[in-house]
Structure 1
Amino acid sequence: MTRALSAVSRPWGMRALLGAVLISSIGEAMVIVAVPWFVLETTGSAARTGVLLAVGAVASGLAGVLAGPLVDRWGFKRMAVTAYVFGGAAAACIPALHHLGRLDFATLIGLAAAASVLDVPGVAAVTGLVPGLAGAAGMPLERGNALLGGVHQTAQLAGVPLGGLATATLGTDAVLAMDALGCLLAALVISAGVPSSRATRPTLDDRVPETSDPPPVVCAYLDEIRVGLRLLWRERLLRALACSGAAFNALDSGLAGVLLVIYAHRELGSAAALGVMLTAFGVGVLAGTGIYAAIGHRLGRRWAYLASGAGVGLLVAGLAVASPSLPVAALLLGLLGMVAAPVGPVRTSAFQRGQRAETYGRVVSAVDTIGMAAVPLGAAATAVAVEALGVRPTLAVLAAAYLLVVTACWRSPALRAL
């Protein structure tokens, strides 16, 4: 009887994790609208808005490498809960200090950095929980990762318009408070609903060599960071995925952050067209994620990775040569989102299978940081290309770049291990 009850309850860990991610991701998406609006309301400065967003990105990127060992020291569940609590507390301080009249711009920058500082290790901890929870639920790993991505994408689609509506009707302070509440609720759901796994410690090969005098805490921590970076460099598959992922991130940021905005402005002449295209893309990603969740475990991971990248390149080329038309652009963006959806779950599954739990946090946090560093570089390069070449030629160049990255991945011996 006990075994039967245990077997019935096993899927709840995965469900709790997905529920926590949904709750927190909706709040995070709402803040995308609320935070810039809050800065504009309180300072009236567009430049300060940019500074605040840049500080958050830099803090998140730096912490990605530096905080990676915390995931391995504390374990996935504890790190995920800590990241949600820390981010929620920082978000709650913004409206609280604002009402008390104690929120100057320097304090706002500090709170924005604090809210972002555990984002990367928090994401690594959440993905680290998936293999055990998916196995306990009796589902393939690919499905677990795809469901996690699908929940996040659903939250993004719903959260941004909800954030705009809530900002307009309730004010930015209320939206920030809702984000804080969502983070704290997500932490509570994981604490109560996700079973604790056996604590892991670094294996003998990954520990700092013992001497007669134990190393200082700071030195030992830096040694753990070096172990993660050394593992990333030594493992050919991880290195290839990190490099190709950074390349795709750079191209994605140029497409979504620069080219689509300018395409909507110059070719379609409407800000609403940008919203339609981005919505079509989001719906496509959600549909593609659902399809991959259903059949992804039957597909070859290398084939899915290469086919997704090639499909994106061909669809971007289609956007470059098609006549400017919102229905056509929306259709192409929807298809693009659908074919691009498997890339994230494939990469995550590869890291989960190829990396031991005791070093997973360090390696994945480093990989995510590399990917984040490529985003502003890709956006800046694309902006320069648009000014020099124009929108359509830049789309063609971007399509060629996608296909070039896919070709390099196809020829890479390391990626055959996928």
Structure 2
Amino acid sequence: MSVHRAFVALAGATVLSTSGTRLSAIAIPWLVLTTTGSPVLTGLAGFAEMLPYVVAKALGGPLIDRIGARRVSLWCDMLSAAAVALVPLLFWAGLLSIWVLLPAVALLGVLRAPPDAAKQALVPMVAALGQLPMERVTGVMGASDRLAGTLGAAGAGVLIALLGPAPALLVNALAFVLSALAVGLGIPAQRAPFQQRDTTYRAELTAGWTVLRSDPVLVSLVIMIAITNLFDMAYSAVLLPVWVRSSGLDVSWVGILLATFSAGAILGAAIAAAVGHRLPRLLLYTAGFFCCGPLAMSVLALDLPLPVIVTVLLFGGISAGSINPIIGVILFERIPAPVVGRVIALFGALAWALMPFGGVYAGLLVDSWGISVALGVTAMLYLVAAFAPLIVPSFRQMKRQPLAPA
């Protein structure tokens, strides 16, 4: 089987699954906001999906190391397709109240977590097959993720406007099916290389936790990312949709603005893939967070003209495009190969641990103070987190080093 085929298959599966996820991340909050008119319930829907996602990701790492990342990605994507298709079916049956929707999105969160971690765990194998620099592989995967964000956000705006939020979710289900097919047909089947039949599941989880907490760089990264993810979730799930609606714009502008940022991030990730190994990590990392968070939220809080907002979001996306490739390389440099699945899953779960509360935080802030104040406060808090790498000493250890041993 062609090496390039496996690389393309992994990138394609990432685009498909992430595109579908981004579509549902817009469609479900918009469905709740337009049917209930409540920012708090909109945030609660995000909480219902994100909390099970975080728990499932934290607990699913040993499963990836035991049975293989390819198998986990394939089967969980298929189950995710069935779970997300359940929402429009309930809608058409007239059964989709908010209290029915919440368990449905919770199920989706549980099923989405393992394949997300599994696709990331496949990166070292694909890089080794092609004898490619890790920066290049993570850069391409970062560009794939950003491309998915662009396609998913733009497609969501159009599909929701044309069909409504519930029927648009069928496209999400199709994307998960195609992602599973890409992994199943494009990536060679291999036995899980690090099965440990003589250890318990709990012991394997503990081993992953020990590796993670003993590395000061990984600890600093995961704390910072957890905080910024809280604000990112607040922005995408509540603040941006509420700002769009309060500005008199239609739902397509949620997709347009998110797609603009993601389009810039594709270019930024492509630059990282091409020349990222020659550029200073700490500077790129810090600048990326500043531009993707505080800068983007500030222009909305100030209610600047749409052309200015679009331009700033495009620039912010370019700056932010290098963040995920940098994080990916650092993970694979510092995590020993035998525990890569469980440590990546734990890292991802902890990085997303505050996200369930992002929508609730934003909904309460908007209800209490209005959208402009909510955006301004969130931008200021994000700014503090974005500059942490310039202050916290452990971030200075982000320098390049050889990949962790097998």
Q: Which stretch has the larger CA shift, 46-55 or 351-360?
A: 46-55
**Number of matched pairs:** 395
Q: Is the 8 A contact 1:55 1:112 kept in 2?
A: yes
Q: Which residue of 2 aligns with 1:216?
A: none
Q: Is the 8 A contact 2:233 2:355 kept in 1?
A: yes
Q: Whole-Å Cα distance in 1 between the matches of residues 44 and 239 of structure 2?
A: 22
The one-letter code sitting in structure 1 at the alignment partner of 2:117 is A
C-alpha displacement at 1:130, in angstroms? 1.4
Q: Which residue of 1 aligns with 2:311?
A: 331
Alignment pair present for 1:57 and 2:50: yes
C-alpha displacement at 1:75, in angstroms? 1.1
Equivalent position SS for 2:189: coil
C-alpha displacement at 1:178, in angstroms? 3.1
Q: Is the 8 A contact 2:85 2:170 kept in 1?
A: yes
Alignment pair present for 1:185 and 2:165: no
Task: Identify which of 356, 374, 377 aligns with 1:394.
Answer: 377
Task: Identify which of 4, 15, 21 aligns with 2:8.
Answer: 15
CA distance 1:336–1:44, change in 2 (3 Å): closer
Q: Which residue of 1 aligns with 2:279?
A: 299
Q: Which stretch has the larger CA shift, 329-338 or 305-314?
A: 305-314
Q: Which residue of 1 aligns with 2:345?
A: 365
Q: Which residue of 1 aligns with 2:137?
A: 144
C-alpha displacement at 1:186, in angstroms? 1.6
Q: How does 1:199-214 map to 2 (within 5 A)?
A: 199-201=192-194, 208=199
Q: Is the 8 A contact 1:313 1:402 kept in 2?
A: no
Q: Is the 8 A contact 1:283 1:334 kept in 2?
A: yes
Equivalent position SS for 1:67: helix
Q: Whole-Å Cα distance in 2 between the matches of residues 390 and 103 of structure 1?
A: 33
The one-letter code sitting in structure 2 at the alignment partner of 1:178 is V
Task: Identify which of 269, 287, 290 aligns with 2:270.
Answer: 290
Q: Which residue of 2 aligns with 1:234?
A: 214
Task: Identify which of 308, 321, 324 aligns with 1:344.
Answer: 324
Q: Whole-Å Cα distance in 1 between the matches of residues 234 and 201 of structure 2?
A: 36
Alignment pair present for 1:405 and 2:372: no
Equivalent position SS for 1:78: helix
Root-mean-square deviation (CA, aligned residues, Å) is 3.9
Task: Identify which of 223, 240, 243 aligns with 2:203.
Answer: 223
Q: Which stretch has the larger CA shift, 121-130 or 51-60?
A: 51-60
Q: Whole-Å Cα distance in 1 between the matches of residues 174 and 44 of structure 2?
A: 26
Task: Identify which of 45, 68, 75 aligns with 2:68.
Answer: 75
Q: Whole-Å Cα distance in 1 between the matches of residues 33 and 316 of structure 2?
A: 34
In the TM superposition, what whole-angstrom CA distance separates every residue of 1:29-74 from its partner, at most 9, and x where no partner exists?
A: 3333444566689x86857665443221121111121222211111
Larger Rg: 1
Alignment pair present for 1:135 and 2:128: yes
> Unpaired segments of 5 or more residues in structure 2?
402-406
Q: Whole-Å Cα distance in 1 between the matches of residues 301 and 240 of structure 2?
A: 15
Q: Whole-Å Cα distance in 2 between the matches of residues 378 and 107 of structure 1?
A: 21
TM-score (norm 1): 0.78
Q: Whole-Å Cα distance in 2 between the matches of residues 115 and 321 of structure 1?
A: 32
Q: Which residue of 2 aligns with 1:119?
A: 112
Equivalent position SS for 1:347: helix
Q: Whole-Å Cα distance in 2 between the matches of residues 313 and 31 of structure 1?
A: 22
In the TM superposition, what whole-angstrom CA distance separates every residue of 1:90-146 from its partner, at most 9, and x where no partner exists?
A: 223444566678877766544332222132221111011112213333432222222
Q: Whole-Å Cα distance in 2 between the matches of residues 393 and 107 of structure 1?
A: 34
User: Which gives a bigger RCO, structure 1 or 2 (Cα 8 Å, sep 6+)?
Assistant: 2
> Unpaired segments of 5 or more residues in structure 1?
1-5, 209-219
